Amino acid sequence: MSDLSQLAYATTAEVAAMIQKKEVSSREAVDYFLARVEALDKTINSVVTIDAERARAEADAADTELAGGTSRGPLHGVPMTIKDSYQTKGMRTTSGAPELTDFIPEEDAWPVARLREAGAIIYGKTNLPIYAGDLQSYNEIFGTTNNPHDTTRTPGGSSGGSGAALACGFTPLELGSDIGGSIRLPSHMSGVTGHKPSYGIVPAHGQIPGPPGTLTMADLAVAGPMARSVEDLELGLDIMAGPNRWEQPAWRLELPAPRKHALKDYRIATWLDDPRCPVEPEARTLLENAASALARAGATVSADARPEFSLEKIAATFMALLQSALSGGVSRDKIEEYAQSSGNTSTDQTRRLFAMRHREWLSYNERRMQMRKRWEEFFQDWDVMLLPVMPCPAITHDHSEPQAGRTALVGGQQRPYWDLVTWMAPAGACLLPATVIPVGQLDNGLPIGVQIVGPYLEDRTALHVAKHLFEMMGGCPRPAGF
């Protein structure tokens, strides 16, 4: 291969094919990405830990194996980065926490292990907020990650370094995680693709938080692929999906095929705005254009079909479940203090949710189950639902504390910070698969994404529709200078 620069924005499948065909060696690919990060990442700060020596050694081994006729799998010799919340054997893993600055795991997180088994070479780790707990990506160890489309803005969180690295052409594939939108929000803000799998189909043991060694699987939390094409999302999901450590002796996972063969046969609902969380007009126009493109391609598209619950109700349920899921690292004394919060500010409300009693959580969980049933009924008539990701594009950096007290500028108005995750609720609370793809850029160049939400365990349906729409929308925008 004469022009290694083609690697920067090649898909994962394309890089893998180049290596298999010996058009480029794995070592050349590793060296190329290492040099690209060194030259271009200083203003972005997305790749924060690099193990060049190990990556080069693994690449040399991959080339030797291939020369001998051996291939480990579909990612044989492909360099990639991993979100720094996932334990990587022999490579520093911090989850952005100062107390883990020098932590070097002795084993890989489960999805990392699956990627390595498929032949991937992990050359670096990407930035995130401390313990993956913010919509922006910054921490005391590594500092702030900037959005490649506008460095005054965040690339999102918590998989913000992942999204930024993909947008910059530093990696063809990334491993993200999503509990409150941490795959979907950065994919939207950085203009890349991401897939939040159905809850439970990608084992995520070995992610931090909780502390290293934690075996509990947090409510709502999933591991999933991020990339620059939908085919790569499918590839990543195929590699990582399967039963977890407890179920592996007996269970097998066979995800259903897409519901339809052709786009014209799909029934697609759109819910692209709502008084509970109004979307900026220019962003809404791009979302509506995407829906119109599907209709022009022959799909049945309805802007009126809805599951039988309001955005307000599911957002409240999601926020309660989310804050409860995030409360595991809060001390008992703090929980008792938070339980006494009596005001009506966003901070007070968030603290009370952190401190909810188990009986209250059971009530929210039952509400969630009732809405899952409404979704189940809805998907008897409709195949997927299109939703916004956020009511606005990437926001400007804001590291003020507490998080719940922040505001964000949306459509010329200051809105509560947690409003930015409202559209995460319908899929997040109900554990549904959601694929995010870019559908265009605003006049200021900032990308806008859309969620394609499918029925539970029907990830391939959401991805299939996303693949068609992605092709019509022109793919991922490339930031200036990269």
- Please tell me the distance from the alpha carbon of residue 345 to that of residue 141, in angstroms, as a whole number: 31
Shortest CA distance to 178 belongs to which of 463, 425, 407?
Answer: 425
Q: Is 182 a known active-site residue?
A: yes
- Please tell me the distance from the alpha carbon of residue 1 to that of residue 21, in angstroms, as a whole number: 10
- β-pairing, 267-270 with 300-302? parallel
User: Scanning the structure block, which residue is given the tokens 């939908």?
Assistant: 230
Stated as kind and residue range, the H or E segment containing 407 is: strand 407-410
**Amino acid present at 134:** D
Q: Is 25 a known active-site residue?
A: no
309 to 268, 373, 448, 474: CA distances (angstroms): 18, 11, 26, 34
Catalytic residue from among 158, 229, 324, 346: 158
Burial class (CB in 10 A: 0-12, 13-18, 19+), 355: buried
Tally the C-alpha atoms within 13 A of residue 216's C-alpha that lie toward its C-beta.
Answer: 10
In angstroms, the first-to-last Cα distance of the chain is 20
The sign one gets for the Cα dihedral 348, 351, 355, 356 is positive
- Please tell me the distance from the alpha carbon of residue 210 to that of residue 207, in angstroms, as a whole number: 7
Are 121 and 79 contacting, i.e. CB atoms less than 8 angstroms apart?
yes
Are 88 and 130 contacting, i.e. CB atoms less than 8 angstroms apart?
no
Q: Is 158 a known active-site residue?
A: yes
Helical H segments across 124-172, by residue range: 160-167
Are 235 and 138 contacting, i.e. CB atoms less than 8 angstroms apart?
no
Catalytic residue from among 25, 26, 46, 83: 83
- Please tell me the distance from the alpha carbon of residue 412 to that of residue 131, in angstroms, as a whole number: 31
Stated as kind and residue range, the H or E segment containing 224 is: strand 222-227
Catalytic residue from among 182, 198, 229, 324: 182
Neighbours of 75 (CB within 10 A): 28
Residue 63, token pair as written in the block:
């080339």
Residue 140, token pair as written in the block:
């005391």
Strand ranges in 43-178 using DSSP code E only, listed in sequence order: 47-50, 79-83, 121-126, 138-139, 143-144, 173-178
- Positions annotated as catalytic residues are 83, 158, 182
